[in-house]
């Protein structure tokens, strides 16, 4: 598969390193960036033969099979639509867009054109996460009762950096919270209720916050908490407690091991190994989907993108309400 990269971002560098490991399976042949010097440096570093003059000229190249979009969240819709309108399959960085409405628009465009589209949530393609899903589906965990995941990072940067810039869809939730949100969805599906509270930075984006989730079923209620922050380092730990045992992943951002402990039994550890970063799993999922002629991935389906966008929207809205001086004690709680 011949890839073209739309922007030469930091995450694009990681992706290029992953693709270069897939000898004979992937070839990165072109990159485009509004910063031509940055694009030229990226091309030299990763052995890319072509630097496109602009985004449109990249997505219309006949020698590109799939386009990867890694611009700021605020520009994902515009840039992914360029590729879709050119009939090119697209892998767009997470979150697919900052809102559920824009994500729906993107998916509808892909469906109308019959073009492959996938949100780049690579952890959903990781063997450890797939193993966790298998244990849950087979009832090994029993009935889920409690889900917890946190992703705090101390982020120091100027106010104009994209993560602090509201015009670029900044904030911890869209940048970090998307990880635990997608994994909660991968393991348990869309929650029935979302409540949230937190704080804002002085630039107006979410800073430290908690989302409270509820899943209802005929087998009972499962409660969940998602935590994210730009103010301090901490563990990226995921834990799911069921009536028959507990699943724990110590680093769900780069999961290479998982422990299942049956109640009253001995811990069982599941381990995987993968090339640095683990992005190769996602690349291979894109390749597999395209070779099968699919417009969406089985591991990161369109519905997961919409459900998580819905969750993130309510999480952000709840934080803003709780941080509003006129509603100091209010948390958002929305029915599905």
138 & 239 share domain: yes
User: Does residue 245 contact residue 265 with C-beta atoms inside 8 Å?
Assistant: yes
Instruction: Kindly state the DSSP code that residue 209 receives in the 8-state scheme.
Output: E
How large is the C-alpha radius of gyration of the chain? 20
Query: Pick from 94, 120, 146: which residue ends a domain?
Result: 120
CATH number of the CATH domain containing 77: 3.40.50.720
**295 located within any domain:** no
Instruction: Report the catalytic residues.
Output: 94
163 & 229 share domain: yes
CATH number of the CATH domain containing 197: 3.30.360.10
Question: How do residues 155-181 score in pLDDT, each as one tens digit?
Answer: 998 998 999 999 999 999 999 999 999
Q: Which pair of tokens denotes residue 159?
A: 């106010």
Give me the DSSP letters along 7-71.
Answer: S--HHHHHHHHHHHHSTTT-EEEEEE-SSHHHHHHHHHHHT--EE-SSHHHHHT-TT-SEEEE-S
Structural domain count of the chain: 2
177 & 313 share domain: yes
In the numeric block, the tokens 């969805």 are attached to 185
Q: How far, rounded to the nearest angstrom, does the alpha carbon of residue 55 sit from its chain's CA centroid?
A: 23
pTM over 0.75: yes
Query: Pick from 66, 89, 120: which residue ends a domain?
Result: 120
**169 located within any domain:** yes
User: Does residue 311 contact residue 26 with C-beta atoms inside 8 Å?
Assistant: no
Question: How do residues 50-84 score in pLDDT, each as one tens digit?
Answer: 998 889 999 999 999 999 999 999 999 999 999 99
192 & 328 share domain: yes
26 & 41 share domain: yes
162 & 230 share domain: yes
Question: How do residues 17-63 score in pLDDT, each as one tens digit?
Answer: 999 999 899 999 999 998 888 899 999 999 998 998 889 999 999 99
Question: How do residues 294-324 score in pLDDT, each as one tens digit?
Answer: 999 999 999 999 999 999 999 999 999 998 8
Residue 19: which domain range? Answer: 2-120
Give 124's Cβ-side CA count (13 Å radius). Answer: 28
User: Does residue 45 contact residue 18 with C-beta atoms inside 8 Å?
Assistant: no
């Amino acid at each position: 598969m011949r890839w073209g990269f739309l922007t030469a971002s930091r995450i694009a560098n990681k992706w290029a390193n992953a693709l270069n490991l897939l000898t004979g399976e992937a070839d990165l042949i072109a990159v485009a960036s509004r910063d031509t010097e940055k694009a030229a440096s990226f091309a030299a570093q990763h052995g890319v033969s072509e630097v496109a003059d602009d985004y449109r000229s990249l997505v219309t190249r006949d020698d590109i099979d799939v386009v990867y979009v890694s611009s700021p969240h605020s520009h994902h819709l515009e840039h992914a639509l360029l590729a879709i309108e050119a009939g090119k399959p697209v892998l767009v960085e997470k979150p697919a867009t900052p809102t559920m409405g824009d994500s729906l628009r993107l998916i509808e465009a892909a469906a109308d054109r019959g073009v492959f589209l996938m949100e780049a949530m690579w952890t959903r393609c990781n063997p450890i996460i797939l193993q966790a899903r298998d244990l849950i589906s087979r009832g090994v965990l029993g009935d889920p009762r409690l889900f917890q995941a946190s992703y705090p990072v101390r982020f120091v940067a100027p106010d104009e950096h994209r993560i602090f810039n509201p015009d670029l869809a900044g904030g911890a939730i869209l940048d970090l919270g998307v990880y635990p949100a997608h994994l909660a969805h991968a393991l348990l599906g869309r929650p029935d209720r979302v409540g949230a509270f937190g704080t804002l930075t002085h630039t107006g984006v979410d800073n430290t916050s908690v989302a409270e989730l509820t899943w209802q079923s005929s087998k009972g209620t499962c409660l969940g908490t998602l935590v994210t922050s730009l103010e301090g380092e901490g563990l990226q730990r995921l834990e799911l407690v069921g009536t028959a045992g507990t699943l724990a992943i110590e680093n769900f951002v780069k999961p290479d091991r998982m422990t299942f402990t049956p109640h009253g039994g001995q811990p069982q550890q599941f381990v995987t190994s993968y090339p640095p970063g683990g992005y190769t799993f996602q690349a291979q999922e894109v390749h597999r989907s395209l070779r099968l002629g699919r417009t969406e991935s089985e591991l990161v389906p369109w519905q997961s993108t919409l459900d998580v966008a819905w969750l993130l929207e309510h999480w952000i809205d709840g934080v803003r309400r709780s941080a509003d001086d006129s509603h100091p004690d209010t948390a958002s709680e929305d029915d599905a």
